[in-house]
Structure 1
Amino acid sequence: PFSPKCALKEENVAPPTNMLNVHLVPHTHDDVGWLKTVDQYYYGDRNDIQHAGVQYILDSVVDQLLKNPDRRFIYVETAFFYRWWKRQSPSMQQTVRQLVDEGRLEFVNGGWCMSDEATTHYSAVIDQMTMGLRFLNETFGACGRPRVAWHIDPFGHAREHASMFAQMGYDGFFFGRLDYQDRTHRMVQLEQELLWRASDSLPPPTADLFTGILPNGYNPPEGFCWDQSCDDPPIRDDPDLEDYNVNDVVSRFLGIAKAQVRRTNHIIMTMGSDFQYENANLWYKNLDKLILYVNALQANGSKVNVLYSTPSCYLQELHRANLTWALKTDDFFPYADSDHDFWTGYFTSRPALKRYERISNSNLQVTCNQLEVLAGPASRTGPFGEGESQTMKKAMAVAQHHDAVSGTEKQHVANDYARRLANGWQRCQVLVSNSLAALSASSAKRIYCDNLNISVCPLTESSRKFAVTVYNPLARPVSWAVRLPVNGSAYAVSDAKGAAVDCQVSRNRGFAVNELVFQVQAPPLGYSTYSVSLLQNGPPPASMKPRHPAAIQNEYLRVTFDPDTGLLSSLANLETKQSIKLTQNFYWYNASDGNNTESNQPSGAYIFRPNSSTPFIISQTAKTETVQTSVVQEVRQWFSPWVSQVVRLYAGRGVGGGNQSICGICSTCLGKEVITRLDTSIQTAEVFYTDSNGREVLRRKKDFRPTWTLKQSEPIAGNYYPINSRAFIKDDADQLTVVTDRSQGGGSIHNGSLEIMLHRRLLYDDVRGVAEPLNETSHIFPDGLVVRGRLLLSLERPPVAADTHRLIAQEMVLQPLLTFTDGDLNPNTRLEVRGVGVGNVCLLEHQFQSWESKVSSQPVTVSLQKLFSTMEVVGVSEMNLSANQWKDEMRRFAWAPQTDETPVLKTFQDISPWEVTLRPMEIRTFLLRVVLR
């Protein structure tokens, strides 16, 4: 699998076959932000928080590798290596290239960071992996291309990540964390190394990935840590000294090695940990001695051989063993490291940051992956200055780190992640303005309303006439409701053709007096412009009626409310003539403070641990107001001073129960974990379904794990799973889907019930390293950070429900981008552009699983030559998913499962290089050579 140029990678792994071969893997785990910011970690700043300086680690490691050709080292986080590399002299860069070519310095994983697996969306993961891998490919060529995925620290592992790694060309995947009960089971069954079949739709071995669970997490064996941060004694090998300890060290090491039972005569030991090797001499001097003295015993008959190694070398030996391996088809969630300690709180932690990351991902796809390519050089240098996308790309890549979007960092680090995203978006806005100026033939100043989430937009609140340009990043038309804060009482709206658009003004709950609402139709991969004018003598704003409504409905859905409580009571699909009982309310779990008879574990940024399995209801009733117009019908509900929501139905849209909630957990109410719960008449048998990173759907069952017998210690936290974009419950007749606007945690604790955690504010740290409670405030909301969220509900028949919820989820992730111009439009302005197409690298994706839909789960053939209206495709080459290798040159190890009941899935051949067929759940990457028409 390696290039012939990478000679020592092959030569290094030629250990004897009649011995136990111990592969020592020197490594460092360098968080791209956690207790310190990215900059602080790189430079070694704020060592009062944590002693760590990545630049010194790389300096020291390279120096030590040069002193002994047997030594090896692996490095993971390209975000840090990229910084270090840019500051090296040409001679040092050449030296490092030589180390890489010889296999002495090996890159594993290779993404910009080691991403979280629970709260990241697949599109953002692909982007950050591509960024890191592209840099390595361009800098080091084939020898710098990682062959092993390495996620030693993320807190649970998603099946979709394994699928993506397989499609990126990795031979194997190693990680350190899995449930403590699962680890014990696998040790007994000799299944710590397995074959992960990470898709039920892609034909094997497309998404098959060999997976190894590291025996010590990612730390060295106990007693063998030789970093400056460690307390273990060094190897003292002068026999003339009284403290000579070689015999003791060797004896202890042999005991540990022989106790590590695996299926081959090869075992792996991670030699390193968090931010270690800043003084690499300490590690290597002792490792040299360990190898020397253990191997010296072979002359006396010892059957243990120790060598410097890397994960790819170890993996190569496992492949040479030609064994069959246990097969796994589910995922590794939820993760617990002991009784009562389930790491399921971080599925929701820092919900504002999670939403900001998701919006930023949408903006990145629009500005960098589409508009920048479409407008070409004009996007970067135009009437609004120099725009650039790299700042946003790097900020988004860093935000995928397993202590970033996960919400498990210190507060000042979370602020830094948000600051980076804000800086990236400011620079991208210039790029968007330039692109739209080129496409529309108008240099009118573009204005952005970044605070629409809190109903703030100075332009719309003050201007008598303005235009709204709606860019749709999806490859299909989208209908979208635009809500703008205004201070006028009546407005006229017209579309790009000058036709009047139905609109409505109602009283606003934000800073402006009123809110203007109208629906737009955005063309695929294009934009449309709407003109808005203040009317002098228009109708008054829609009035709010302070009463409990009987129901609201549009052409598709009817939502009924209880006349006594004001709560939701039923949901009906008028097209399919379905109706279910549906009660929705807000509750909170009292977070454990550690003073509990069963365990002293508190809830914190990582861990969810309620004191009781029964949540407290916030209110049995809701104070309500109703607004019913031709554009939108809504019921505004207040449950307490710190929880409220609006239930909305828009005209002409089949998406029901639009739900916006606000939760600001006050300072006198610390230790609360707030949920919304939907209790229905659907018979679920304690089963529900969640997506994996926005892609494939997995079945979840209460108190059950598919591959091992669970001893449940936490009936709530132990049944929570990550919901990245959607979850649903169903029976034979009905399916209720909830689409989320960010990653959140949730579960189905009761039959027919689905609950989603919205917000958390906690009193204590959970003793997992972050060393501060999850207590978010701001200067605006000192009594607890207010979070506004959105949930969309859909009721469908199960066989066709996938057609709806997948499309809704995609619209939620990739929302239209709004830009504004003040005053009258130039008469020569192009108000609408359709089907503009995207750039040189094209990702084509089939969005449905093979079993989901009779119609949408069929293969689809796409003509690349007809796909783009503004470009002519003159050449095409297929690449792997991460676009760092030609697809026809990708060679992966083949692995055989012990048992295989996977049905044979039909494969499809492309008609020609220009007409490609997509199978269910397939993502294909093409490099296109194009010319503008």
Structure 2
Amino acid sequence: CFIAERQDNPLLFDFNVEVRVNDFIAAAMIQANVTRTNHIMWNMGDDFQYQYAESWFKQMDKLIHYVNKDGRINALYSTPSMYTDAKYAANETWPLKLDDYFPYADSPNAYWTGFYTSRPAFKRYIRLLSGYYLAARQLEYLMGRRSTSNANTDGLGNALGIAQHHDAVTGTAKQHTTNDYVKRLAIGASETETVVDSALSCLLDSKLNGQCAGSTVIFSQVVVAYNSLGWDRTDIIRIPVNDHNLVVKDSTGEVVESQYVEVDSVTSKLRKFYVEAYTGTSDKHAPKYWLVFSASVPPLGWNTYFISKESQKGNITHGFMSTMDLPKKETIEIGPGNLKLSFSSSSGQLKRMFNSKTGIDIPVQQSYLWYASSQGDADPQASGAYIFRPNGSPPSVVSRSVPLKIVRGPLVDEVHQQFSSWIYQIIRVYRDKDHAEVEFTIGPIPTDDSIGKEVITRFTANMVTDKVFYTDSNARDFLKRVRDYRADWPLTVTQPVAGNYYPINLGIYIEDNKSEFSVLVDGATGGSSINDGEIELMLHRRMIYDDSRGVGEALDEFVCVNNTCEGLTVRGNYYISINEPGAGARWRRTTGQEIYSPLLLAFSHEDSRTWKSSHLTRATTMEANYSLPFNVALITLQELVDGSVLVRLAHLYEAGEDPDYSKLAKVELKKMFGGKTIKTLKETSLSANQDKSEMTRKAWKVDKGETNSEPAPVRGRPVDFSSLIVELGPMEIRTFIITF
């Protein structure tokens, strides 16, 4: 980048046009010598060069003028589409690249793999609100933008859009800038709550017949669960309560099996601290229990559950109080359903996972460790918000002996593990789930020793994986990763850990000829398989030094109460499953959707009989008995400002990923929009700003010997307006604008 000013007045001693033109042309020729065709893309500027845009463009104008006057090359302002058209017009052949560019580095010890995890609480907040936004837009559409108390979801949408900036969700902004992102998200979420409350009130009110006015209902005794997925689902609801003498009934009046789990002390302390930190008041009504029950909800619909005080007559109890189990044997087994987890009572560590339904049995251990962050050495590169650079020593194991607490019940078993004063974990195994849910609480990370720490959890399974593991790409397809290897060039390994880290938005898995071991996440993070049979996730980071990539401050998040500050504590979840070879895709795809789009809950105080007489307690907005295929997700359902409706449908599976679901899927729009008449339907580009009919795909020529061995992708045919059936091939996303 040519930052020095172009001085073009020949009467001045610092006249340098000829020098700068020669420098420019020499650099252009170096790039041209490794680029096919005579067109090269010249990226002008960097993060901070356009702070003084007028001066910068003036210098570029001069440079272009004098370079073109020289005549050896031609320079012009261009766009990505103009550049692509010029490359295509050259009729050249090209090498074929099937993978991505991760991980990347700008020097041998500077891998940009730290930002995958930086600011994990912020990343998770964005993920939670993204799922909430998806559901809220559906509800906004179902009741109409003009019917939801003059509020709308635009504020949250805008805030989420801003948060996708490459220095926002990445965690690579200054702290005060990140605070601004969070504030915008919180304001948008608050506005969207008004939409959700109003829409649910209207949808449930059987007397309004779709004519919705603003609602004054205060959403606790009546629980409404809304399902934003396109298929029936059964999931667990956990509600904090102070009473263990409650009964849960469904919309038909049938008693629903429930279980009480005491709120653990770590959660109570965490809640107390952050309530005081962010509200300035003490938490006087902290819940004592989690009320746990299973809810079944139709697609794009809702179901209602009623929680009331249990009658004291007789000794009948409908809720099960969880029991505490003191370890008596060397091996402790938990799991009320098919999945069983075994722990050592002496070390407190996980030993084994076994699924009685599939017969898959894997010895597996879990541990928490931390990498010591490099402060720089002969190479001054430090670990920071962007860069992950451990100091070269093996990661430190947090604890080899972990105190255990076992909680058992008919719906869920829990194992509580205290790895240290700043790492706490709860593993939950539900009766009707074939995976384990892990809730971690990490922080404040101690830095009294002036050493930055990058905290990971590591699973070690008895599997032969031959350096291979798989991570998702944008939560869509899974890409094969090979440790210490790059498909495009011979890799010189300078950072054996950081150089093998990859971004994870959905999950990571390993496999051999006997089984698959998968981990799904609830927020963006980084992970790898540093040794065969291992999976590790980085969950939290706290630095002492800046990594000199523009942030200008160390990644050191903290929270203050009464002028006392401590490092940030983060909480999150990940989910682990074992499957037969080739069978894990169904779990990853379905459970991944359920993690991203949890049941949306609303609450109201009202007598159940009164509620039932005036509200629809269970309904779907689709045609009765219709649901989307299990390999299709409704990723957008949104009413636009002009009253039209934006719809995006996505095939969830890759070609060849599953024998049944990696096939052409069909969605019947007439049944999906039951009770509505579609007047017009227009297919558009993914971004919905161009008609599909106006789009043309370029047919690039590929070098000999580099043809893609995979068959041509299956794609859905144009939609016939008489049948209104949308076809989707594997990994295909189709976008439509519809009017009713």
Tell me the TM-score normalized by structure 1. 0.69
Within the alignment, does 1:663 sit opposite 2:436 as a pair? no
* Alignment equivalent of 1:831, drawn from 595, 605, 617: 617
> Displacement, 1:682?
1.5
Secondary structure in 1 matching 2:191:
helix
> Displacement, 1:908?
5.2
Within the alignment, does 1:650 sit opposite 2:458 as a pair? no
Q: Which residue pairs with 1:475 in the alignment?
A: 230
Q: Which residue pairs with 1:813 in the alignment?
A: 596
Amino acid at match of 1:348: T
Secondary structure in 2 matching 1:843:
strand
* Structure 1 residues not aligned, in runs of 5+: 1-219, 226-231, 449-458, 460-465
CA contact (8 A) 2:323 2:409 kept: no
**Cα distance in 1, alignment partners of residues 566 and 61 from structure 2:** 56
CA spacing shift, 1:896–1:561, aligned 2, 3 Å: same
CA spacing shift, 1:269–1:423, aligned 2, 3 Å: same
Secondary structure in 2 matching 1:341:
coil
Secondary structure in 2 matching 1:810:
helix
CA spacing shift, 1:870–1:787, aligned 2, 3 Å: farther
Amino acid at match of 2:247: A
Q: Which residue pairs with 2:83 in the alignment?
A: 314
* Alignment equivalent of 1:593, drawn from 375, 379, 382: 375
Within the alignment, does 1:922 sit opposite 2:732 as a pair? yes
Within the alignment, does 1:374 sit opposite 2:142 as a pair? yes
* Alignment equivalent of 1:576, drawn from 355, 358, 363: 358
Secondary structure in 2 matching 1:268:
coil
CA contact (8 A) 1:379 1:432 kept: no
* Structure 2 residues not aligned, in runs of 5+: 207-213, 269-286, 624-636, 639-644
Within the alignment, does 1:640 sit opposite 2:420 as a pair? yes
* Alignment equivalent of 1:902, drawn from 709, 713, 737: 709
CA contact (8 A) 1:649 1:657 kept: yes
Amino acid at match of 1:812: I
**Cα distance in 2, alignment partners of residues 612 and 279 from structure 1:** 41
CA contact (8 A) 2:686 2:734 kept: yes
> Displacement, 1:701?
1.1
CA contact (8 A) 2:258 2:292 kept: yes
Secondary structure in 1 matching 2:96:
strand
Within the alignment, does 1:556 sit opposite 2:329 as a pair? no
Secondary structure in 2 matching 1:627:
strand
CA spacing shift, 1:478–1:233, aligned 2, 3 Å: same
> Displacement, 1:836?
4.3
**Cα distance in 1, alignment partners of residues 58 and 114 from structure 2:** 42
Amino acid at match of 1:257: A
Amino acid at match of 2:223: V
CA spacing shift, 1:320–1:575, aligned 2, 3 Å: same
Secondary structure in 2 matching 1:798:
coil
Within the alignment, does 1:866 sit opposite 2:671 as a pair? yes
* Alignment equivalent of 1:266, drawn from 36, 39, 45: 39
Secondary structure in 2 matching 1:267:
coil
Amino acid at match of 2:499: G
Secondary structure in 1 matching 2:559:
coil
Amino acid at match of 2:541: R
> Displacement, 1:801?
1.4
Secondary structure in 1 matching 2:231:
coil
CA deviations on 1:696-729 (whole Å, 9 max, x unpaired) are 0001111011111110111111111111111111
CA spacing shift, 1:902–1:870, aligned 2, 3 Å: same
> Displacement, 1:251?
2.9
CA contact (8 A) 2:300 2:622 kept: yes
Secondary structure in 2 matching 1:304:
coil
CA spacing shift, 1:926–1:900, aligned 2, 3 Å: same
Q: Give the 5 Å matches for 1:840-919.
A: 840-898=645-703, 899-905=706-712, 906-907=714-715, 909=717, 912-913=720-721, 914-919=724-729
**Cα distance in 2, alignment partners of residues 427 and 563 from structure 1:** 49
CA contact (8 A) 1:236 1:246 kept: yes
Amino acid at match of 2:506: S
Q: Which residue pairs with 1:233 in the alignment?
A: 5
Q: Give the 5 Å matches for 1:454-493.
A: 466-493=221-248
CA contact (8 A) 2:388 2:498 kept: yes
Q: Which residue pairs with 2:395 in the alignment?
A: 615
CA spacing shift, 1:917–1:822, aligned 2, 3 Å: same
CA contact (8 A) 1:491 1:533 kept: yes
CA spacing shift, 1:267–1:807, aligned 2, 3 Å: same
**What root-mean-square deviation, in Å, do the aligned CA atoms of Structure 1 and Structure 2 show?**
2.2
* Alignment equivalent of 2:502, drawn from 708, 721, 731: 721
Q: Which residue pairs with 1:4 in the alignment?
A: none
* Alignment equivalent of 1:518, drawn from 280, 293, 311: 293
Mean CA deviation greater in 685-694 or 251-260: 251-260
CA deviations on 1:669-713 (whole Å, 9 max, x unpaired) are 651111111011121112111111110000111101111111011
Secondary structure in 2 matching 1:327:
coil
> Displacement, 1:351?
0.7
> Displacement, 1:747?
0.6
Q: Which residue pairs with 2:629 in the alignment?
A: none
* Alignment equivalent of 1:535, drawn from 285, 310, 327: 310
> Displacement, 1:859?
0.9
**Cα distance in 1, alignment partners of residues 58 and 421 from structure 2:** 63
Q: Which residue pairs with 2:15 in the alignment?
A: 244
Mean CA deviation greater in 658-667 or 419-428: 658-667
**Cα distance in 2, alignment partners of residues 713 and 540 from structure 1:** 55
**Cα distance in 1, alignment partners of residues 171 and 54 from structure 2:** 35
Q: Which residue pairs with 2:276 in the alignment?
A: none
Q: Give the 5 Å matches for 1:43-54.
A: none
**Cα distance in 2, alignment partners of residues 857 and 282 from structure 1:** 54
Query: Number of aligned pairs?
Result: 673
Amino acid at match of 1:586: Y
CA spacing shift, 1:831–1:378, aligned 2, 3 Å: farther
Secondary structure in 2 matching 1:338:
coil
**Cα distance in 1, alignment partners of residues 131 and 604 from structure 2:** 21
Amino acid at match of 1:248: V
Amino acid at match of 1:918: L
**Cα distance in 2, alignment partners of residues 701 and 327 from structure 1:** 19
Secondary structure in 1 matching 2:177:
helix
CA deviations on 1:42-95 (whole Å, 9 max, x unpaired) are xxxxxxxxxxxxxxxxxxxxxxxxxxxxxxxxxxxxxxxxxxxxxxxxxxxxxx
CA contact (8 A) 1:367 1:431 kept: yes
* Alignment equivalent of 2:161, drawn from 392, 397, 404: 397
**Cα distance in 2, alignment partners of residues 742 and 766 from structure 1:** 24
Q: Which residue pairs with 2:529 in the alignment?
A: 748
CA contact (8 A) 2:430 2:436 kept: no
**Cα distance in 2, alignment partners of residues 280 and 444 from structure 1:** 49
Within the alignment, does 1:414 sit opposite 2:172 as a pair? no
Q: Which residue pairs with 1:712 in the alignment?
A: 493
CA contact (8 A) 1:490 1:541 kept: no
> Displacement, 1:667?
4.5
**Cα distance in 2, alignment partners of residues 431 and 691 from structure 1:** 33
CA deviations on 1:568-625 (whole Å, 9 max, x unpaired) are 100011111110001111111111122x35x322111111111235211111111111
> Displacement, 1:845?
1.3
> Displacement, 1:377?
4.0
CA spacing shift, 1:728–1:379, aligned 2, 3 Å: farther
CA spacing shift, 1:446–1:517, aligned 2, 3 Å: farther
CA deviations on 1:779-831 (whole Å, 9 max, x unpaired) are 26933211111111111112221111111111111111111112424331211
CA deviations on 1:646-675 (whole Å, 9 max, x unpaired) are 111112222x22111100013436511111
Amino acid at match of 1:237: N
CA deviations on 1:857-895 (whole Å, 9 max, x unpaired) are 111122221222242323322111111111111124332
Within the alignment, does 1:681 sit opposite 2:489 as a pair? no
CA contact (8 A) 1:638 1:644 kept: yes
**Cα distance in 2, alignment partners of residues 278 and 785 from structure 1:** 32
**Cα distance in 2, alignment partners of residues 760 and 297 from structure 1:** 52
CA contact (8 A) 2:622 2:673 kept: yes
Secondary structure in 1 matching 2:567:
coil
